[in-house]
Amino acid sequence: MENRSRITILMLPPALWLVLLFIVPLGIMAVFSFREGSFGAEREQFTLENYQHFFANRSYLNLLGTSAWIAFQTALIAVVLSYPLAYFLSFRAGEARVTLLTILIVPAWTSFLLRILSWKLILGSGGVLNTFLLSLGVIQEASPLLIYSRAAVVVTLVYVWIPFATLPIFSALERIDRRLLEAAADLGCPPWEAFLRVTLPLSLPGVIAAFFFVFIPTLGEWVTPALVGGAQGIMYGNLIQDQFVRALNWPLGAIMSLVLMALVLVILIIFNRFIRISDLAGA
Amino acid sequence: MRDFRRKRSVLSALCLLVITSFVLIACSAPPPAAAPPPTTASAGAATAPAESTTASAQANGPFVLLDWAGFELPEYYPTFTEKHPDVAPEYAFFAEDPEGFAKAASGFQFDLVHPCISYWELYVSEGLIQPIDTSRLKNWSGVSEKLAAYGMIDGKQYFVPYDWGFESIIYRTDKVKTPPTSWADLWNPEYKGHLSMYDSGEAAHIITALALGFDPWNTTPEQDEQIKQKLLELKPNLLNYWSDSTEVSQLLASGDAWVIASAWNDAYVTAKNEGVPAEYITPKEGRVGFLCGYAISSKTKNLDLAYDYLDALLEPEAIAAMGNTNGYGISNIKAIPLVDPELVAAMDMDKPEILESTQFYRPLDDAQREQFTSMWSEIKAAP
């Protein structure tokens, strides 16, 4: 009994935090999505017109699709690149793993904006890559499209997310009982087959976790596309930001945000049929 | 056992790393501009002290300006400080007009506000500001009549014009073979992938209307549709959308962009100073001009202070100092001889014919604002 009340007391601050700063604002946003306008008299009128406008306009949903595609590519590439890294750290690095992990994370301690802006130096017209390609004669003229493009958004985001994709895979690999691999070897299983039939399946929850770790925040991303995306690399998040900051169309911005959340929810529910979300937490 | 402990320490180290990284990411990301907390600078507001010399003007609570950052310098209003040494104006800053308007409209208490022309009518229609009695401003006689006329809404002078500037086309002379001479030249396929546009639906509407030969402020629904189609045709030329002058300078200097639309003249001054080969043109349809000015809150308790502050801003030495520091045009014509001749030349202040052909932004009503912003969202969302 005493244990239970202790848990209640411990749970209270985070629960309050979530309700006040997450659930309540979500409710406010849902209310806003039905308002006619952001200010004055329009604020008091409720309407469904905003929803009609949103769904009648295919370009918004198309952009959401494009953003989902960008997020999918980013998450996939980040996971594929992170797996060998995590594997090396877990199986080969030995005592050096903590040091190596720290080194992996250190870039993430510098400013997020700084890391994104530094890609301008690499990909820009006068950047490292353009200069290199020019000197090789591969291209005749420096192209700004290496930076202001969808590909630049994917490259930059993959770079940003690799450390975070590595961690869940690493911790899944760490949990694998090494005796299973010894047993596989004893039974005559070659290492590559042991990897495919033992290591990979057991690390799959970590891989899926890493995928969503990258996919979900990327779907709503707006800073990176604003800085390196250019006109072609615009993402859905930029449109949401525009509605709140520039267009003063809070109702439309609220609808866009809710639709984005709904999409993430649907994807998670579908995945939940195959892999339980609670498994991802490593329970 | 040893192995287990090692794992535990690895995992807790991991957790720490992740948490720190997330905290750092959260901290380094730019603050959302949607609804920032009221940041009031310069604390220590004056509460009407007994020794106030002038009986007419006493501060009732803090004297608050809702303003752009950079306009709070004491040298922009020295005569106000002389007259009211005990009153320290407080400043709440906004970074974009919609942000300032959102703040004012959601009940933020201010005495003076400094929006730009597109948002002027919205302040009036929301009842946020009151008409100005210009006879109370001794420096009013110096204000350009052309600019003052823009501050008249419903036959009343609601705004005191203060600073203005141009928006035009700037291009890299070494990259472009056929220099642009009109707004319609932005569609020249030669600039494919090298054109940067101002991230504003209003600016896009105006320059496209000018390119098509329409009156930007009186377009028919059919013309609006044509403007939208025309803008969609511009997408292959488009490199990116710029949002501030620093970005314009960088785009130009790096050579990423060859042609930049709606660039402000300070970007041209920067390019010249940096030795970037660039030219600032006067399109044959005219340049576009922005104009910003001050208005008095309808709920002010410091009306006399507000008038004194406005008059101090218009003081020739003071407004010339603002022009010299910020590189903007000034509304008080009498102060032009006090402005740095280089700035006068850069702004073409000495060429009245350019100002005459300039299409200044106009106050937008709610419907126009919504039309421009939703058109722009659709254009940006389009592939």
Contact A113 B33 (CB under 8 A): no
pLDDT, position A168: 92
Contact A148 B106 (CB under 8 A): no
Token pair recorded at residue A149: 């493009």
Q: Would you place residue B54 in the very low, low, confident or very high pLDDT band (cuts 50, 70, 90)?
A: very low
CATH number at residue A98: 1.10.3720.10
Span B138-184, pLDDT tens digits: 999 999 988 999 999 999 999 999 999 999 999 999 999 999 999 99
Q: Would you place residue B38 in the very low, low, confident or very high pLDDT band (cuts 50, 70, 90)?
A: very low
Paired strand residues for B171: B259, B279
CA distance A171 to chain B (A): 8
CA distance A144 to chain B (A): 5
Does B329 reside within a domain? yes
Mutate which of B24, B246, B377, B380 to test chain A, going by most A C-beta atoms within 10 A?
B377
Residues B96 and B177 in one domain: no
Give the residue numbers spanning the domain of A186. 59-280
Residues from chain B that touch A39, judged by Cβ atoms under 8 A, are 102, 105-106, 126
* Inter-chain contacts counted by CB atoms under 8 A, chains A and B: 143
Tell me which chain A residue has its CA closest to the CA of residue B125: A40
pLDDT, position A38: 75
Q: Does pLDDT of A75 surpass 70?
A: yes
CA distance A248 to chain B (A): 6
Span B343-364, pLDDT tens digits: 888 777 777 777 778 889 998 8
Contact A249 B373 (CB under 8 A): yes
Per DSSP bridges, beta strands B259-264 and B329-330 are unpaired
Residues B160 and B175 in one domain: no
- What is the residue type of A231? A
Residues B281 and B192 in one domain: yes
CA distance B201 to chain A (A): 9
Calpha distance A225→A236 (Å, rounded)? 10
List the one residue out of B325, B329, B316 whose CA is nearest residue B77. Answer: B316
pLDDT, position B55: 41
Contact B28 A59 (CB under 8 A): no
Residues B158 and B266 in one domain: no
Residues B376 and B266 in one domain: yes
Average pLDDT over every residue of B27-40 = 40
- B229, B374 in Cβ contact below 8 A? no
- Following DSSP, what letter does each residue of B32-95 receive, concatenated? PSSS----EES-------TT-S-SS---SS--EEEEETT---GGGSHHHHHH-TT---EEEEES
Interchain contact B304–A (C-beta under 8 A): no
- SS3 assignment, position B96: coil
Does A46 reside within a domain? no
Q: How far is CA A22 from the centre of its chain?
A: 19
Per DSSP bridges, beta strands B288-297 and B359-360 are parallel
Does A202 reside within a domain? yes
Token pair recorded at residue A214: 């990258």
Q: Does pLDDT of B280 surpass 70?
A: yes
Mutate which of B96, B254, B370, B374 to test chain A, going by most A C-beta atoms within 10 A?
B254
Least confident of A29-43, B106-120, B129-143: A29-43
CB nearest A57 (choices: B24, B199, B378): B378
Residues B84 and B211 in one domain: no
DSSP single-letter state for residue A98: H
Q: Would you place residue B26 in the very low, low, confident or very high pLDDT band (cuts 50, 70, 90)?
A: very low
Does A108 reside within a domain? yes
pLDDT, position A268: 85
Which residues, at least 6 apart from B99, have a Cβ–Cβ distance to it below 8 Å? A245, B33, B36
- B90, B44 in Cβ contact below 8 A? no
CATH number at residue B145: 3.40.190.10
Contact B380 A242 (CB under 8 A): yes
Please tell me the total count of domains within chain B.
Answer: 2
Mutate which of A125, A130, A218, A239 to test chain B, going by most B C-beta atoms within 10 A?
A125
**Triad B300, B305, B311: Cα angle to 5°:** 120
Residues B178 and B247 in one domain: yes
Does B13 reside within a domain? no
Interchain contact B232–A (C-beta under 8 A): no
CB nearest A167 (choices: B18, B201, B238): B18
- A247, A36 in Cβ contact below 8 A? no
Does A5 reside within a domain? no
Does B29 reside within a domain? no
Residues B174 and B276 in one domain: yes
Residues B200 and B274 in one domain: yes
Percent of chain B with pLDDT over 70: 85
- B203, B168 in Cβ contact below 8 A? no
Span B185-213, pLDDT tens digits: 999 999 999 999 999 999 999 999 999 99
pLDDT, position B45: 39
Number of neighbouring beta carbons within 10 Å of residue A281: 10
Calpha distance B302→B310 (Å, rounded)? 12
Average pLDDT score, chain A: 89
Number of neighbouring beta carbons within 10 Å of residue B11: 15
Least confident of A4-8, A153-157, B131-135, B315-319: A4-8
Please tell me the total count of domains within chain A.
Answer: 1
CA distance B346 to chain A (A): 28
Contact A246 B20 (CB under 8 A): no
Q: Would you place residue A63 in the very low, low, confident or very high pLDDT band (cuts 50, 70, 90)?
A: very high
Residues B327 and B244 in one domain: no
Q: Would you place residue B23 in the very low, low, confident or very high pLDDT band (cuts 50, 70, 90)?
A: very low
Alpha-carbon distances, residue B206 vs B48, B91, B96, B184, B293 (angstroms): 47, 32, 19, 12, 21
pTM: 0.80
Contact B377 A247 (CB under 8 A): yes
What backbone phi and psi angles, to 5 degrees, belong to B301? Answer: -105, 0
Interchain contact B19–A (C-beta under 8 A): no
**Strand locations in B204-307, DSSP E?**
238-242, 259-264, 278-280, 288-297
Residues B303 and B375 in one domain: no
Does A224 reside within a domain? yes
More confident position, B43 or B239? B239
CA distance A73 to chain B (A): 18
CA distance B90 to chain A (A): 24
Does B45 reside within a domain? no
Q: Would you place residue A172 in the very low, low, confident or very high pLDDT band (cuts 50, 70, 90)?
A: very high
Does B48 reside within a domain? no
Mutate which of A21, A32, A38, A39 to test chain B, going by most B C-beta atoms within 10 A?
A39
B18-31 residues labelled b (16+ CB within 10 A) or e (exposed)? beebeeebeeeeee
Tell me which chain A residue has its CA closest to the CA of residue B11: A171
What backbone phi and psi angles, to 5 degrees, belong to B232? Answer: -65, -35
Interchain contact B31–A (C-beta under 8 A): no
What backbone phi and psi angles, to 5 degrees, belong to B33? Answer: -85, 0
Average pLDDT over every residue of B113-118 = 96
Residues B306 and B259 in one domain: no
Of the ranges A63-67, A105-109, A133-137, B18-22, the best mean pLDDT one:
A63-67
Does A195 reside within a domain? yes
Does A36 reside within a domain? no
CA distance B248 to chain A (A): 13
Give the residue numbers spanning the domain of B343. 56-164+290-360
Contact A231 B33 (CB under 8 A): no
Contact B98 A238 (CB under 8 A): no
Does A37 reside within a domain? no
Mutate which of B228, B239, B250, B365 to test chain A, going by most A C-beta atoms within 10 A?
B239
What backbone phi and psi angles, to 5 degrees, belong to B113? Answer: -135, 150
List the one residue out of B250, B251, B271, B246 whose CA is nearest residue B346. Answer: B271
What backbone phi and psi angles, to 5 degrees, belong to B32? Answer: -65, 130
pLDDT, position B51: 39
Span A95-108, pLDDT tens digits: 898 899 889 888 88
Percent of chain B with pLDDT over 90: 61
Q: Does pLDDT of A146 surpass 50?
A: yes
Average pLDDT over every residue of A82-103 = 91
